[in-house]
Amino acid sequence: AKEDGRGAFRFFEPSMDEQMRARRDLEMDLGSALARGELALFYQPLVDTEQGRVGGFEALLRWQHPVRGTVSPAAFIPLAEETGMIAAIGAWVIRRACADAACWPLPVKVAVNLSPVQFRDRSLPRIVAEALAESGLDPARLELEITESLLLLDDEKVLEILHGLRAQGVRIAMDDFGTGYSSLSYLRRFPFDKIKIDQSFVRGMMEQEDCAAIVSTVVSLGRLLGMSVNAEGVETREQFLALREQGCGEVQGYLFSPPRPAEEVVAMLGSIRQD
Ligand code: C2E
Ligand code: CA
Ligand code: CA
Ligand code: CA
């Protein structure tokens, strides 16, 4: 009623209300999701291109909502970050991933995604140390993936936490490389163990020259800086062969397997082979 004569406002008002209500509902559900056991880790194989076998798995969070079905992390992680719930969820992910990996029949890596919000206080190195101690997982098998948005916080504190994690023997990977504003300068500020080329570049690498150029440049950059390079979102054999040819050490994507439930890790270890 406020904006008489501006129909558009009246038209959008109810849907805004609904959106807010839906968000609030989702938020309340997320609050109890962890306690109700609705969160699960799925695992996607990381394929070592030199060895031609699975060198590890990336843990990807899934929420099996009793009514909505599977909710994408793209939908609930931002919500968890805004509400602060990511602290508890993130700690659970680290513990779960370490416990799972400690039971795998081969000592392959487990990669865990971290939110920048998990760096707001200094508890992360302790959470990781406890997860490693409880599970008995060799720290060298744990890889933590962070995105550039973390380093936008531009904080001595963030660097200190990263160094604290590294001091425990875990590896640090920069995820979604190339999508931010100053990826290159971040590589100088913190010595990452691995760079993960964002899947948008991999998707276009066989058709678009700019994507192809970016992919091959990042692969050689990684080599020059002594960092491992992963290409994610590999969906075709052509992409895989080109990446291996260029010396990209690790790939992952639907070509090999989508993320699958923890129970299927052993089967994936045995079945995924690339000559
Ligand atoms: P990400 O870390 O960049 O993960 C890669 C995403 O690409 C995953 O989506 C994966 O399922 C998907 N993917 C893998 N291979 C292919 C492929 O060949 N083609 C295509 N089109 N997609 C592929 P997912 O699982 O939906 O996760 C989305 C994002 O949610 C992740 O992006 C990550 O940023 C975030 N996320 C997932 N789990 C966690 C978590 O435990 N903690 C935090 N903080 N973030 C998480
Ligand atoms: Ca990731
Ligand atoms: Ca990524
Ligand atoms: Ca991403």
Distance CA 259, CA 252 (A): 10
Query: Would you say how long the chain is, in residues?
Result: 275
- Residue 104 CA to ligand 1 center (angstroms) comes to 22
- Residue 195 CA to ligand 4 center (angstroms) comes to 13
Ligand 1 touching residue 239 (CB < 6 A):
no
What is the pLDDT at residue 23?
84
What is the pLDDT at residue 105?
96
Distance CA 159, CA 151 (A): 8
- Residue 274 CA to ligand 2 center (angstroms) comes to 22
- E-assigned strands of the chain? 39-48, 53-65, 69-71, 109-113, 142-146, 171-177, 194-197, 228-231, 250-251, 260-261
pLDDT truncated to tens, each residue of the chain (275 aa)? 445 455 555 555 667 788 888 888 888 899 899 999 999 999 999 999 999 899 999 999 999 999 989 999 999 999 999 999 999 999 999 999 999 999 999 999 999 999 999 998 899 999 999 999 999 999 999 999 998 777 766 678 889 999 999 999 999 999 999 887 767 888 888 889 999 999 999 999 999 999 899 999 999 999 999 999 999 999 999 999 999 999 999 999 999 999 999 999 999 998 876 65
What is the pLDDT at residue 121?
86
ipTM score: 0.98
Question: Which residue, judged by its Cα, is nearest atom 8 of ligand 1?
Answer: 60
What is the pLDDT at residue 274?
61
What is the pLDDT at residue 12?
56
Atom of ligand 1 nearest to the CA of 232: 15
Ligand 1 touching residue 45 (CB < 6 A):
no
Q: Which residue has the tokens 């001595």?
A: 156
What is the pLDDT at residue 10?
56
Question: How distant is the alpha carbon of residue 147 from its chain centre?
Answer: 8
What is the pLDDT at residue 1?
44
Burial class (CB in 10 A: 0-12, 13-18, 19+), 199: middle
Distance CA 87, CA 67 (A): 25
What is the pLDDT at residue 271?
84
pTM over 0.90: yes
Which of 113, 118, 252 has most ligand 1 atoms within 8 Å of CB, for mutation?
A: 113
DSSP string, 57-87: EEEEEEEEETTTEEEPHHHHHHHHHHHSTHH
Ligand 1 touching residue 148 (CB < 6 A):
no
